[in-house]
């Protein structure tokens, strides 16, 4: 992944007889921002595509904590990458100015998102043509 706005991160997950424990802390090598919002999507069936937007400023870490989700990222300049999330100790850092879609590959997968900002509708670009215009600025 040569794009600095996209990178896979892995958090330490010690495994014992009781199972694994995965910890995430803000402003760490794994999360390079203050976490202002945490949310998750669940109850989504296989084949459903969510997202279809970009953010002007928001940074995110996407973590599939259960199941399998394929994330497609598009920088608006012809570079499109697909990343499969299926390891709860891994997360995908997505910087601003990236068009993203998430397709549920397995029923009932759970996507946890750590976000650098509180919700702000003005930060969203929800139309792909508007996104391409924004990127050209």
In a domain? residue 16: no
Q: Which of 44, 41, 48 is nearest to 108 (CA)?
A: 44
pLDDT per position as a tens digit, 14-24: 677 778 777 77
Q: Give the pLDDT mean for 35-61.
A: 97
Handedness of CA 102, 29, 58, 75 (dihedral sign): negative
pTM of the model: 0.88
The predicted model gives 38-63 an average pLDDT of 97
Q: What is the CATH number of the domain that holds 74?
A: 2.60.120.10
Q: What is the pLDDT of residue 2?
A: 45
Q: Is 40 within a domain? A: yes
Structural domain that includes position 73: 6-11+23-136
Distance CA 31, CA 103 (A): 23
Is 17 inside any structural domain? no
Our count of domains for the chain comes to 1
pLDDT digits (tens, 9 = 90+) for 87-117: 998 999 999 999 999 999 999 999 999 999 9
In a domain, 65, yes or no: yes
Question: Tens digit of pLDDT for each residue in 64-75?
Answer: 999 999 999 999
| 3-state secondary structure at position 20 | strand
Residue 119, in any domain of the structure = yes
- Whether 129 is covered by a domain: the verdict is yes
Whether pLDDT at 25 is above 90: no
Backbone angles phi, psi at 60, to 5 degrees: -140, 155
Catalytic positions are 53
Is residue 1 one of the residues assigned to a domain?
A: no
Sign of CA dihedral 23, 29, 30, 32: positive
Q: Which of 24, 26, 102 is nearest to 59 (CA)?
A: 26
With respect to residue 81, please indicate whether it lies within any of the assigned structural domains: yes
């Amino acid at each position: 992944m040569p794009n600095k706005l996209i990178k896979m991160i892995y958090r330490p997950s010690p495994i014992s007889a009781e199972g694994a424990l995965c910890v995430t802390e803000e402003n760490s090598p794994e999360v390079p921002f203050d976490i202002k919002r945490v949310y998750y999507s669940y109850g989504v069936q296989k084949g459903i595509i969510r997202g279809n937007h970009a953010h002007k400023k928001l940074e995110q870490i996407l973590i599939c904590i259960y199941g399998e989700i394929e994330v497609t990222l598009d920088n608006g300049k012809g570079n499109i990458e697909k990343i499969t999330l299926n390891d709860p100790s891994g997360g995908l850092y997505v910087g601003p100015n990236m068009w993203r879609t998430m397709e549920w590959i397995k029923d009932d997968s759970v996507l946890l998102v750590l976000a650098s900002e509180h919700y702000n509708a003005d930060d969203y670009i929800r139309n792909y043509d508007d996104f391409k215009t924004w990127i050209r600025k």
